[in-house]
Amino acid sequence: MSYDRVRETDPAAADALLAERERQNDTLAMIASENHVSEAVLQAQRSELTNKYAEGYPGARYYGGCEHADTIEQLAIDRAQDLWGADHVNVQPHSGTQANMAVYLSMLDPGDRILSLELEDGGHLSHGHPANFTGQTYEVEQYQVDPETGYIDYEGLRDRAEAFDPDIVVSGYSAYPREVEWERIQAAADAADAYHLADIAHITGLVAAGVHSSPVGVVDFVTGSTHKTIRAGRGGIIMCDEEYADSIDSSVFPGAQGGPLMHNIAGKAVGFAEALEPEFRTYAERVVANAETLADRLQEHGFSLVSGGTDNHLVLVDLRDSHPDTTGKEAEEALEEVGVVLNANTVPGETRSAFNPSGIRIGTPALTTRGFGERAIREVTDLIARVVDAPDDEETKTEASVRVDELTDEFPLYG
């Protein structure tokens, strides 16, 4: 795919687009929420549907000329139903946060109560953070992970639900390396007579492939984004029982959004079709196996992991024990210099700040898409360990950088 037409109009933009392509090819994307979509999804996302207004839903639009938009949106819905088994699916949310917003709009009034996981323990801004509309519109209480084990403190959550009497309990996380026990959280929500929203943004692909337990059919609402483990391009999704379908649909449009991003919905349709193929399950199993290899190898190098390992696509390293003088941001920056791109992250019991926290979050979805298996993941883990052990050592960083170049050549992106 060339940017020659962009270059004719806007050389500066063409330069940046090409540089980003090269950056993705020449570095190792280990941000746990990122992935590389297929060329088919890329093509669909840059289609002429970017020109089309299609406010409304398939068969009931506010504009003419929507017959092909209808086909695309219905394909995305049907495939999502096959993948996750939900009664009702809305594929129009522009992002995971917009999906969450629509659920809150649908079920809550301003001032109602949200019970959710603390951000520094692995939660998400849109689950009630004071800097987000959720924290400003609703009354929020938070539960935590057990500081000893790093696992969700399910009993603490139940006690908090009893005491706080929330209107909605939010589960599903952004930096939690373990399988979630949806039924236990549902029991706490039931006891408080609260709705339960499971935001599976990070693990949509793992749930679709059956390598992580599903909250669909257990909880009231399941939301997610479509560009992480599911690899269907940028966007959001909501799933629910039929009884909430009308309310959710009208909260997405016209409640929270105007015209849907039909070109992104085309990406979802194509990405979901890919995820229905048997190879996708193999991919999802490899994502988890690679994360386990990463976790084991990091621990062999002396790193402490929150919860002592992983069940999913990410590990969360707490640097305070093994590298007390290195912050997450310093580790992130040293690793980016050698071409390993990940993010600094808060850890449970954080003693620094959100901007310069004590941990790093490392994910395997994008490298798995590139074809990385156990041998290559072990090698990348060794590079990470060497660089974090000596973040200011130029010779170490130069050697690591050369090896990253060789690995990116061995596993090229997009042919």
In angstroms, what is the minimal distance from the CB of 32 to ligand DSN?
A: 7
| Interface residues toward ligand DSN, by CB under 6 A | 33, 96, 124, 174, 201
Q: Which is nearer to ligand DSN, 88 or 268 (CB)?
A: 268
Q: Which is nearer to ligand DSN, 186 or 346 (CB)?
A: 346
Q: Which is nearer to ligand DSN, 201 or 377 (CB)?
A: 201
- Terminus-to-terminus CA distance in the chain, angstroms? 11
Q: Which is nearer to ligand DSN, 52 or 313 (CB)?
A: 313
Q: Which is nearer to ligand DSN, 33 or 98 (CB)?
A: 33
In angstroms, what is the minimal distance from the CB of 366 to ligand DSN?
A: 12
Tell me the DSSP string of 314-327: EEEEEHHHH-TT--
In angstroms, what is the minimal distance from the CB of 58 to ligand DSN?
A: 28
Nearest CA to 71 among 275, 262, 260? Answer: 262
Nearest CA to 223 among 248, 194, 256, 243? Answer: 248
Nearest CA to 300 among 404, 358, 381, 359? Answer: 381
d(CA 243, CA 239): 12
In eight-state DSSP terms, residue 353 is -
In angstroms, what is the minimal distance from the CB of 211 to ligand DSN?
A: 19
Decide if 199 contacts 96 (C-beta within 8 A).
yes
In angstroms, what is the minimal distance from the CB of 98 to ligand DSN?
A: 11
Q: Which is nearer to ligand DSN, 99 or 404 (CB)?
A: 99
Decide if 170 contacts 127 (C-beta within 8 A).
yes
Closest chain position to ligand DSN (CB): 33
In angstroms, what is the minimal distance from the CB of 393 to ligand DSN?
A: 29
